Amino acid sequence: MVDLKIENLTKKYGETTALDKFSIDIKSGELMVLLGPSGCGKTTAIRCIAGLIAPTNGQIYLGNKKVNELSPKDRDVAMVFQNYALYPHMSIHDNIAFPLKMRKKSKSDIQEKVIKMAELLGIRDLLDRKPKELSGGQMQRVALGRALVREPKLFLMDEPLSNLDAKLRTHMRTEIKKLQKKIGITTLYITHDQVEAMSMADRIAIMKNGNIQQIGTPTEVYHQPNNTFVGQFIGNPQMNLISGSIKDESLFLFSQPIIIQPVDKTLLEKKLTPKFIVGIRPRDVIIIKETDIFTGIRLDGTVVFIEMLGDDTTVEVKIGSDSLLVTINNILNPFHVGDIIEIGIEYSKMHFFDDEGTRID
Ligand SMILES: Nc1ncnc2c1ncn2[C@@H]1O[C@H](COP(=O)(O)OP(=O)(O)OP(=O)(O)O)[C@@H](O)[C@H]1O
Ligand SMILES: [Mg+2]
């Protein structure tokens, strides 16, 4: 097990800067997920680490060793892609054995390692089949086996589950996480799916335009997003962003004055910029019933859209000319489009950002 350290990795393709001073430390045995929208540079980062492309600038250390100058095969890194092409004419056994044969391992050594890996992945009874006789999930397991059988130092995965259907994807992400922990291999896993990232990661690195916006545990990035980009990228439906300002001890949200209760004066002590942004997650907005006692911020709004999502329902509420998404439990949904309702926001659930979107604490 080794750790991976990347310093100021930059990759330019002509005018395009795919990676811009990308830096990250991955601890030995850790599963780090790299999460970000399409085109933000995830694949470029992983390809530089694997040695498939050369960075324009920056250093890559595996353990204490700088590996920039090493060829891919000398880096001892395994990679699994979205298209995990298995060799169609070979049996599953030979597919998994292939990397060991290439390294001229002895027959008995190969046999022992292939069986051990197949058992770990629960595919021992499939070893005599050909790839076309397997399901998508089984093929994915074989691809993992083939990548890991030679016991590499580092495991890189680039959206390995995106070809699978939703149910299998959920199942496989749990399997990959368990396997990674069992083997204890340092892993960098790429996805643009925030749920996949949250469920698998020891830590998540959120990327935008070639660099990292925040690195933290799933809990940290959800509860303490560094900026509005991270706030909105993690969580579904996305975090509401509301413009805010403070004048004469009144808090204005959605251009409406909200009188601050004495107990909430701490708000005034925050280092708020004259204009700021309040983030509130749809799940943290409350719909107040007439009989409720609620001491936070209360606002009237009109229901303009209702979206049923299974366990939850998203309600879009228009407040003045702005709108706010509210997540409610299905069973408790007595609302209709056009209803006037009162919503509540607790001060403790509000995230504050300056007008450029950086978190204020
Ligand atoms: N070989 C290349 N030549 C020129 N530009 C490239 C090349 N490869 C990638 N790019 C550009 O670099 C940027 C980052 O691409 P990259 O493939 O790393 O994104 P990504 O985060 O993996 O996206 P996705 O989620 O869609 O896979 C994009 O703007 C892309 O168009
Ligand atoms: Mg990619």
CA of 319 to the centre of ligand 2 (A): 39
Closest atom of ligand 1 to 41 CA is 18
Provide φ and ψ at 271, rounded to 5°: -80, 65
The average confidence (pLDDT) of the chain is 91
For atom 18 of ligand 1, which residue has the closest CA?
41
CA of 43 to the centre of ligand 1 (A): 7
Q: Mind listing the domains of the chain with CATH numbers?
A: 4-233 (3.40.50.300), 240-354 (2.40.50.140)
Q: What is the model's pLDDT at position 159?
A: 93
The tokens 């496989």 sit on which residue? 172
Q: Does the reported pTM lie above 0.85?
A: yes
Provide φ and ψ at 73, rounded to 5°: -70, -25
Q: What is the model's pLDDT at position 37?
A: 95
- Give ligand 1 pocket residues (Cβ under 6 A): 13, 16, 18, 36, 38-44, 192
Q: What are 175-206's pLDDT values in tens digits?
A: 899 999 999 999 999 999 999 999 999 999 99
For atom 24 of ligand 1, which residue has the closest CA?
38
For atom 28 of ligand 1, which residue has the closest CA?
39
Q: Which residues of the chain have pLDDT under 50?
A: none
| Greatest C-alpha distance within the chain | 81
Distance, CA of 177 to CA of 202 (rounded, Å): 10
Question: Which residues, other chains included, contact 112 with Cβ-Cβ below 8 Å and sequence gap of 6+?
Answer: none
Q: What are 299-316's pLDDT values in tens digits?
A: 999 999 999 888 899 999
Our mutation pick for probing the ligand 1 site, out of 10, 16, 162, 213, counting the most ligand atoms within 8 A of Cβ, is 16
Q: What is the model's pLDDT at position 235?
A: 94
Side-chain half-sphere exposure of 164, counting CA atoms within 13 A: 21
DSSP symbol at 44? H
Contact 13, 210 (CB under 8 A): no
Q: What is the model's pLDDT at position 194?
A: 94
Q: What are 1-13's pLDDT values in tens digits?
A: 789 999 999 999 9
Q: What is the model's pLDDT at position 263?
A: 56
